[in-house]
């Protein structure tokens, strides 16, 4: 892809899910050409592509060669949104090593691989933006979500390190830390549990995917030109 168009091109990993879909819609509205990454959700990605004018692209981010192939297909991007992720519920002592590795393989290794592929073009152009979707649990930690919390904490630390590493090249790197967002990730919770979480949130409700999408669109825009290295909560005060 030519460098002139790369500046207006975004890749959103997990781009057809709840939060990913909201980010894709907000970016497309703001004029970005969005590549909508998916692994198994082809139908949702195709539908969202028709809605937004984006382009669905498939890859399993836990395999290095698939990530390289993904970027070979799409070319350089001006914006990378590392949103794809997975969770695990249960006590740490009951967690197997393959389960632990599965969480880190996507939540951390997948972010590393996508950054590694996207950064050279950004450095060459002296411009670019990376948004890493972490979690309030990456800052606070959550009982029975040790692996998820640890993986998102790693994403927070990676964001701060890359800010310093890439700032001299004009590349901004920020982390978004959603709170309890009403998506499929919490579909296993009972209505009572969801009400309790809403009551624990100062704004008195669960988050909507659109809340995160609008934050991402702002951080990707020129309005956020002097914002980098930040870990920004989108949690209705839940993380306070």
Residue 23 contacts residue 212 (beta carbons within 8 Å): yes
Environment class of 143 (CB within 10 Å of its CB; exposed 0-12, middle 13-18, buried 19+): exposed
Helix 42-52 vs helix 18-29: crossing angle, to nearest 10: 20
Q: Among residues 35, 89, 112, 148, which one is catalytic?
A: 148
Interior CA angle at 176 toward 84 and 192, to 5°? 80
Annotated catalytic residue 35: no
| Alpha-carbon distances, residue 237 vs 156, 190, 203, 205, 230 (angstroms) | 18, 22, 7, 10, 17
3-class SS string, 83-123? CCCCCCCCCHHHCCHHHHHHHHHHHCHHHHHHHHHHHHHHH
Q: What tokens does 142 get?
A: 């959550």
The CATH number corresponding to 3-234 among 3.40.50.720, 3.30.70.260, 1.10.510.10, 3.30.470.20 equals 3.40.50.720
Q: What tokens does 71 get?
A: 């970027």
Q: What is the pLDDT of residue 4?
A: 42
Q: Please report, in tens digits, the pLDDT of each residue of the chain (240 residues total).
A: 333 467 899 999 999 999 999 999 999 999 999 999 999 999 999 999 999 999 999 999 999 999 999 999 999 999 999 999 999 999 999 999 999 999 999 999 999 999 999 999 999 999 999 999 999 999 999 999 999 999 999 999 999 999 999 999 999 999 999 999 988 878 788 899 899 999 999 999 999 999 999 999 999 999 999 999 999 999 999 988
User: First-to-last CA distance in the chain?
Assistant: 43
Q: What is the pLDDT of residue 1?
A: 34
Q: What is the pLDDT of residue 47?
A: 98
Q: What is the pTM of this model?
A: 0.94
Q: What is the pLDDT of residue 187?
A: 78
Q: What is the pLDDT of residue 127?
A: 97
């Amino acid at each position: 892809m030519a460098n002139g168009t790369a500046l207006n091109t975004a890749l959103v990993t997990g781009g057809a899910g709840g939060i990913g879909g909201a980010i894709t819609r907000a970016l497309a509205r703001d004029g970005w050409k969005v590549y909508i990454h998916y692994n198994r959700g082809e139908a949702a990605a195709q539908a969202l592509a028709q809605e937004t004018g984006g382009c669905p692209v498939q890859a399993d981010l836990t395999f290095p060669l698939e990530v390289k192939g993904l970027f070979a297909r799409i070319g350089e991007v001006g914006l990378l949104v590392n949103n794809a992720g997975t969770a695990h519920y249960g006590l740490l002592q009951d967690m197997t090593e393959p389960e632990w590795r599965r969480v880190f393989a996507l939540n951390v290794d997948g972010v590393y691989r996508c950054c590694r592929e996207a950064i050279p073009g950004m450095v060459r152009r002296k411009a670019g933006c990376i948004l890493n979707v972490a979690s309030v649990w990456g800052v606070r930690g959550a009982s029975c979500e040790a692996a998820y919390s640890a993986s998102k904490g790693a994403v927070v630390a990676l964001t701060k390190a890359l800010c310093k590493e890439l700032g001299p090249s004009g590349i901004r790197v920020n982390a978004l830390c959603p709170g309890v967002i009403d998506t499929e990730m919490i579909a296993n919770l009972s209505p009572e549990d969801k009400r309790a979480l809403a009551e624990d949130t100062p704004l008195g409700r669960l988050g909507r995917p659109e809340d995160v999408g609008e934050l991402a669109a702002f951080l990707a825009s020129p309005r956020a030109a002097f914002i980098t290295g930040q870990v920004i909560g989108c949690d209705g005060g839940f993380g306070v």
